[in-house]
Structure 1
Amino acid sequence: MSFKELKISRPILRAVAEAGYDNPNLVQEKTIPFVLNKRDVIVSAQTGTGKTAAFALPILQSLLDKQDAPKKGKTVKALIVSPTRELAIQIEENFKAYSTYTNLRTTVVFGGTSIEPQKDVLKKGIDILIATPGRLLDLHKQDFVNLDYVETLVLDEADLMLDMGFIDDVKKIERLCTKEKQILLFSATIPYKVEQLANSILNEPERVEVSQNSSTSKNVNQLLYYVPKRNKIELCLHLLRNTIKGNIIIFRRTKFGVDKLEKTLINNGYKVDSIHGDKSQTARQEALNRFKKGEVNILIATDVAARGIDINDLDAVVNFDLPNVPETYVHRIGRTARAGNTGMAYSLCSADEKSYIITIQQLIQMQLDVIDEHPYPLDPKAKPIIHKSKKTGSKHKKGRKSVASKKKKKRWY
């Protein structure tokens, strides 16, 4: 099937062809007709399956007929809510690329940067707004965003949005839009809370499921190294020297962990940058650009910062810390082996993370290949080290009553 058969007009087709896409993939082929027919849709698909185009193209198509309104009189007709700034910027890039030969105006707003330039753009009038929840509600409160004309509301990466605690914001945004709007909900996985949200705001939605919720790409070779926690950094350096080559993302659970590993790798002569939630938006974007341009070949990230980042030609993903949510593992390793390429995933597992491996393997329904041949093996019987306080408690005995007080005394009452 071609995009033309999906009733996409020539100006958009031309831009899509220039972006290097000839035919729609599975998620686009299934979703676009529903969106054009103004149905509510729930789409379950991993990142990297081309789902941005699955909502961007039909939205642009629907707005194309009304694009002759003067720029000043433009109102927000499509609203895309995204959990992270990086993802929002990426969606905007896609919309701008596909609408090159139209008159449609798109902008993106997110927190962490000055609000004034965003207000200026909104004043001029736009058709498509991409936003993170907090900044969108701020701008709405200040009367810079009017959601009275929204025809299509897209909730992208809904599972992450709820994990990050945005459920109330999402419900509020939905209520601020018109009653008659169409809602498109995209989520890599559909856990119970996403299902609950969908039931409360969508109207008889069509469902599109592309591949199993848990599926990991067949093109990713997944290797597992058991290692004592204290030796993880040494093993990571050993693998970077001898095994892992090319462009690499290393995932850590905390911002502190990201900074610590970054310093160690820089001291060992590696070209490294990092992204995490404490960095300003500008710093995060610069790190990403340096990585994409090849100025650094290792990017260390926390999960929230890295969700939805689209990096082509990524050779390997390293799970320095294993995630306690198995779906997160799927998202992480989905960064590599995109668009038919092959990739590697290396996971370093300490004794206290063994239970995470069990749940990950249950989810992806496959056994990870364990590599024993390395300098820092973990004793198979090793138990996680639990740090106990040296203090043995109070020097006073429990109850701390003196002998005299324990004698039966006659009370005055």
Structure 2
Amino acid sequence: MEEEKGRRNVPVLPWMRSPIDVGVFDECPLSLLPCLHPGLEEALRKMGFNSLFPVQVAVWQETIGPGAFERDLCINSPTGSGKTLAYALPIVQALSTRNVKCLRALVVLPTRDLALQVKEVFASIAPAVGLTVGLAVGQTSIADEISVLIKKPKLEAGVFYDPKGRPAELQTSVDILVATPGRLMDHINTTKGFSLQHLRYLVVDETDRLLREAYQSWLPTVLKITSAKENDFFALNHTFGGSTVGCLRTIRKCGIERGYKGKSFPRLVKIVLSATLTQDPSKLSQLDLHQPLFLTTGSKRYKLPDKLESYNVICESKLNKPLYLASLLQDLKGEKCIVFTSKVESTHRLCILLNSFDGLGFKIKEYSGLQRQSVRSKTLRAFREGEVQVLVASDAMTRGMDVEGVRNVINYDLPPYIKTYIHRAGRTARAGQAGRCFTLLRSHEVKQFNKMLQKADNESCSTHPLPADSIELLRPLYISALEKLKKCTESENLKRRTSSFKLSRTLKVKKPTNQKK
């Protein structure tokens, strides 16, 4: 988070000084939304939408009709405000106007779980207008992904043929791809037929995180590939002896759409967004934005959901924090809740400790980077379906994850930055619903916490009192739980050492001996 430390000295870009305030927009009923495709309206109603939220209305007005997508969009809006549908809906609408089959929209996200969630949103609306959505996240083998993403023409004597018996080239079979950076680079480097040459829309979701980490240089690679479209046009133009008509026919035959402002090649439209969008020019310059338009909520850079209530819980000492947490969970009476820690190791230990309390009366599961993807997905599904009431999570879940019905978020560890607090708190009070965020603090941390909240224009954090008798009733259970945690930790460490020893024995290679023949 070096950006947070040095932000005071970073100049604000000129186009960020006059943003469009999303807050002035009202919700708009679907029946009044201009130009909305009837199939998309029906799909939205099946999803439970009767109107669009302000950020969705604001983006729709900038992307549909005259002047559509003339400028790149930078969206800074609170978590839970509906940013995913804000870009998914206009992209699907725009792609539905051309009956071609090639990869024309790419959405890049930092984590698999978030990519799966975004793919579900696209998959709920895209089929209504005949579009297909693919996923590239590494959850399955790359061969399985290729079988879905790439068309399979008939193969004879090493030559591919289309259904009419003509020689054919491998090409993508999806219109929209949702991907994580690593698996995207795998397909770019190794998958035959995978092409970004026809790409029209690039969405960089959770932009600040994707720009902070290199992820195998995915961004410069994608921009380099897509910028080659202009050079391809001039090469084709030369091939046709300067005949623009002949060149355009060839381009359209390949599936590339109409040009931009008199140019005979399409401009790659970029949409970048986050609840805490960076203002660092050096980072934003990596995106090579075209006349960017900045949409944000209010004058503050950081904003919490409107219906979020913030509370602190004062703990006597660090050693008693788990005791106060258990008491708070009991006080919340089994409401769906996410408990955030600052480290994956803390997540694991805290989950074991809470499960060692006898008689808490609700199911608690861990969600962290220590787990395999399949385990995390299973846990998240159980949490969504209500089989698990409390999820103890690392910050792997702070970014964009949407779980319906999360009433409470608890910061077991004090968030180091306001960005972290915003992303954690944003797991509740989503889509206009009410929610609460509790932060466990020791007395000397209160001043630091209140100062941090002021950056989000929030000065109304109250202290949530816990009955002293409830804490004392749990104290014997807490002492017992600590003993169980110690034994469990010792057992896990022993298993880890044994497994490591067996692996080293298996991989041990004998020194080669020189033998004369």
Alignment match, 1:129: 177
Aligned partners of 2:282, 2:61: CA distance in 1, in Å? 23
SS of 1:177 mapped into structure 2: helix
- Determine if contact 1:112/1:280 at 8 Å carries over to the other structure: no
**CA offset at residue 277 of structure 1?**
1.7
**CA offset at residue 164 of structure 1?**
4.4
Alignment match, 2:74: 42
Query: How do 1:156-167 and structure 2 match up within 5 A?
Result: 156-166=205-215
Alignment match, 1:53: 85
Query: How do 1:306-345 and structure 2 match up within 5 A?
Result: 306-345=398-437
1:209-268 per-position Cα deviation (integer Å, ceiling 9, x unaligned): 134432222322211123221111111111122345410000011111111111112222
Q: 1:193 and 2:280 equivalent? A: yes
SS of 1:107 mapped into structure 2: strand
**CA offset at residue 65 of structure 1?**
1.8
SS of 2:455 mapped into structure 1: helix
Alignment match, 2:261: none
- Determine if contact 2:79/2:430 at 8 Å carries over to the other structure: no
**CA offset at residue 315 of structure 1?**
1.3
Aligned partners of 2:44, 2:226: CA distance in 1, in Å? 29
Change (3 A) 1:59 1:218: closer
- Determine if contact 1:158/1:194 at 8 Å carries over to the other structure: no
Aligned partners of 1:271, 1:164: CA distance in 2, in Å? 35
**CA offset at residue 200 of structure 1?**
4.8
Alignment match, 1:381: none
Alignment match, 1:101: 128
Q: Which amino acid aligns with 1:135?
A: R
Alignment match, 2:235: none
Aligned partners of 1:13, 1:294: CA distance in 2, in Å? 30
Of 303, 315, 319, the residue aligned with 1:230 is: 319
Q: 1:209 and 2:296 equivalent? A: yes
SS of 1:364 mapped into structure 2: coil
Of 347, 355, 359, the residue aligned with 1:266 is: 355
Aligned partners of 1:193, 1:135: CA distance in 2, in Å? 27
SS of 2:404 mapped into structure 1: coil
Alignment match, 1:6: 34
**CA offset at residue 172 of structure 1?**
2.7
Aligned partners of 1:256, 1:156: CA distance in 2, in Å? 27
SS of 1:308 mapped into structure 2: coil
Of 250, 256, 269, the residue aligned with 2:339 is: 250
Moved more, 125-134 or 332-341: 332-341
Aligned partners of 1:111, 1:53: CA distance in 2, in Å? 24
**CA offset at residue 140 of structure 1?**
0.7
What's the TM-score, normalizing by structure 2? 0.67
What's the TM-score, normalizing by structure 1? 0.84
Q: Which amino acid aligns with 2:133?
A: T
- Determine if contact 1:225/1:346 at 8 Å carries over to the other structure: yes
SS of 1:250 mapped into structure 2: strand
- Determine if contact 1:327/1:360 at 8 Å carries over to the other structure: no
Q: Which amino acid aligns with 2:328?
A: L
SS of 2:210 mapped into structure 1: helix
Aligned partners of 2:281, 2:114: CA distance in 1, in Å? 19
Q: How many residues align?
A: 372
- Determine if contact 2:88/2:122 at 8 Å carries over to the other structure: yes
Alignment match, 2:198: 149
Of 94, 104, 120, the residue aligned with 2:147 is: 120
RMSD across aligned positions (CA):
2.3
Alignment match, 2:440: 348
Aligned partners of 2:190, 2:385: CA distance in 1, in Å? 38
Moved more, 132-141 or 302-311: 302-311
Alignment match, 2:387: 295
- Determine if contact 1:8/1:57 at 8 Å carries over to the other structure: no
Aligned partners of 2:368, 2:325: CA distance in 1, in Å? 20
Aligned partners of 2:214, 2:408: CA distance in 1, in Å? 30
Q: Which amino acid aligns with 2:295?
A: V
Q: Which amino acid aligns with 1:115?
A: I
Of 92, 106, 111, the residue aligned with 1:79 is: 106
Q: 1:181 and 2:274 equivalent? A: no
Change (3 A) 1:356 1:244: farther
1:121-158 per-position Cα deviation (integer Å, ceiling 9, x unaligned): 11131100000111101111103431111001011110
Alignment match, 1:218: 306
Moved more, 92-101 or 335-344: 335-344
Aligned partners of 2:119, 2:287: CA distance in 1, in Å? 28
Moved more, 98-107 or 168-177: 168-177
Aligned partners of 2:220, 2:445: CA distance in 1, in Å? 35
1:26-81 per-position Cα deviation (integer Å, ceiling 9, x unaligned): 111111232330231111112211111111111111111223x4xxxx32100001
Aligned partners of 2:113, 2:286: CA distance in 1, in Å? 28
SS of 1:90 mapped into structure 2: helix
**CA offset at residue 327 of structure 1?**
1.3
Change (3 A) 1:226 1:192: same
Q: 1:20 and 2:48 equivalent? A: yes
**CA offset at residue 161 of structure 1?**
2.0
Alignment match, 2:58: 30
Aligned partners of 1:137, 1:199: CA distance in 2, in Å? 17
